[in-house]
Structure 1
């Protein structure tokens, strides 16, 4: 896949010591999650840089072919056919370029967190286990997994022990919680270090989840 993804960034007041690359959901943009940074209340001493990339614009089948920012096409809402594997792989390659750019700029791979919400979480759960350098953590929020049966054959051992944070809304009517739990169960069956949290919410985030993310990030990057 060609050119690197455009993004917005939030840099620490001090030296950059770690990076969180956070992928948005369908139809959103990097601006969607940028306001979460101050809500996380991370200590300045961690030196965390946030990168919020914008997905490419593409026609989305379930929305009548309307063009919008999407990490991949959605041709069907069926449980096992929702994510277009070709698009997932293309977007994963582009996000991998962002990770490599952070490494080239001096951030150690184990100080990089790959995070995503909904469609963005699909990319995080696809790329993270396949990435060839050990990351600091992988985060999938209100999300699911593209063709989980491929994981065992395609995973790279570098991230077999990388902590994976998963969280989901119990009343999510966009990505049913069963889809998130199935992804969690696939990771568990493949011996990943994955945690699971559910919250009384829909397809969104809430303060309890934000506080849990903050604690997790501090544990990973401290």
Structure 2
């Protein structure tokens, strides 16, 4: 149901958080997948921050033989030369992410203090949602992923997030989402004027220690800017 609040793991780095990071997991995982990353970040150098790790709904996934698993959207093809993502599922998950943002607003966190983050499918939904969000966010953290429904972005993107900081990272040996495919998404966003940072790492479809170090520094820049 797109209008319900998804269950999520929450970790607060201080009392009365003023900032939030909403982090979406990849296909077949759940919110626990990236829960340990909070302990690997230098949270002492961040303002009081609430990390949310929601669980995706369970749905059937076409490329996995119709098996039901946690997924942000159906993947209808393994062919990267054609559409892979189910548009309806992407938009439903985007609305669920918007619901989580709205709840953070109700808890006193402004949009400008919220980062949308995600890995693989989760990163795709973070990109899709953040670029269309109608109020200025703090940034988007997109790992081992790509831009879904890219052909609709020009018409649907909100100008308020045109200068939104974006951190995209990808493994050069990724066998799930090819590096070149993800790189094309980054180049499209850069050509559209978004201030996107692109990072390569010599890994497969995973997150490396160097990547965590770099995203940690980026998070400090967007959540606790100097001055």
Q: TM-score, normalized by length of structure 1?
A: 0.97
Paired residue total: 222
Please identify, of 12-21 and 37-46, the stretch whose mean Cα deviation from structure 2 is larger. 37-46
Q: Which residue of 1 aligns with 2:179?
A: 177
Please identify, of 145-154 and 111-120, the stretch whose mean Cα deviation from structure 2 is larger. 145-154
**Residue by residue, what CA displacement relative to the aligned partner does 1:133-156 show, whole Å, maximum 9, x if unpaired?**
100001110001112121111101
1:160–1:192 CA contact under 8 A, matched in 2? yes
Shift of 1:44: 5.8
Over the aligned positions, Cα root-mean-square deviation in angstroms equals 1.0
SS, match of residue 33 in structure 1? helix
Q: TM-score, normalized by length of structure 2?
A: 0.95
Shift of 1:45: 5.2
Q: Which residue of 2 aligns with 1:38?
A: 39
Please identify, of 114-123 and 146-155, the stretch whose mean Cα deviation from structure 2 is larger. 146-155
Please identify, of 137-146 and 42-51, the stretch whose mean Cα deviation from structure 2 is larger. 42-51
How far apart in 2 are the matches of 1:5 and 1:179? 30
Map 1:134-145; keep pairs closer than 5 Å: 134-145=136-147
| Structure 1 residues without counterparts, runs of 5 or longer | none
How far apart in 1 are the matches of 2:150 and 2:217? 28
2:74 paired with 1:63: no
How far apart in 2 are the matches of 1:100 and 1:3? 12
Q: Which residue of 2 aligns with 1:208?
A: 210
Please identify, of 84-93 and 7-16, the stretch whose mean Cα deviation from structure 2 is larger. 7-16
Shift of 1:33: 0.3
Which stretches of structure 1, 4 residues or more, deviate above 6 A after TM superposition?
none
1:14–1:44 CA contact under 8 A, matched in 2? no
Q: Which residue of 2 aligns with 1:52?
A: 53
| Aligned counterpart in structure 2 of residue 198 of structure 1, from 197, 200, 204 | 200
1:7–1:52 CA contact under 8 A, matched in 2? yes
Map 1:109-124; keep pairs closer than 5 Å: 109-124=111-126
Q: Which residue of 2 aligns with 1:107?
A: 109
1:27–1:69 CA contact under 8 A, matched in 2? yes
How far apart in 1 are the matches of 2:162 and 2:139? 11
Shift of 1:194: 0.6
Q: Which residue of 2 aligns with 1:155?
A: 157
1:167–1:197 CA contact under 8 A, matched in 2? yes
**Residue by residue, what CA displacement relative to the aligned partner does 1:160-181 show, whole Å, maximum 9, x if unpaired?**
0110000000000001111210
